Amino acid sequence: QVTLVESGGASVQVGGSLTLFCVASGVTYNYIGWFRQMPGSEREAVAIWHTTYRKQWYGDSVKGRFTIPRDDAKATVYLQMNNLELRDPAMYYCAAGSRVRVNEILVPREYSYWGQGTQVTVTV
């Protein structure tokens, strides 16, 4: 059975940091990463690993602030969020796919496996 489990969501003050966790079990994938969805908005890609080629992609709004470390021994992908801003609150989802097309990595429907989401809130 394929399971992706996110955790780590919390309420953080502007400028603070937070780490999200995604434990992926029973899944083989070529891409794994994070999406987020704000109220009234569509789901957007945040940070993605292309595992085969060990390359990373980051959304423009998080470049220089977020990183996506991996620990293969723990089957875990992290989203390290630094200098949180008021545009960052959202439900954050871990996603993985084994058939993600290289030119479509930002498209949610390309990913077969999703976690349940973890909520991040930013306060002033």
Per-residue pLDDT 10s for the chain (124 aa) are 778 999 999 999 999 999 999 999 887 888 999 999 999 999 999 999 998 888 999 999 999 999 999 998 899 999 999 999 999 999 999 999 998 998 999 999 999 999 999 999 999 9
- Residue closest to 78 by CA, chosen among 36, 118, 22, 31: 22
Compute the distance between CA of residue 77 and CA of residue 69 in angstroms, rounded to an integer: 6
Compute the distance between CA of residue 31 and CA of residue 100 in angstroms, rounded to an integer: 7
Specify the pLDDT at position 49. 93
Specify the pLDDT at position 89. 97
The set of residues, in sequence order, having a beta carbon less than 8 Å from that of 94 and lying 6+ positions away, is: 4, 5, 6, 20, 22, 24, 32, 33, 34, 77, 114, 115
Specify the pLDDT at position 26. 81
Which residue matches tokens 């109220």?
39
Which residue matches tokens 């306060």?
123
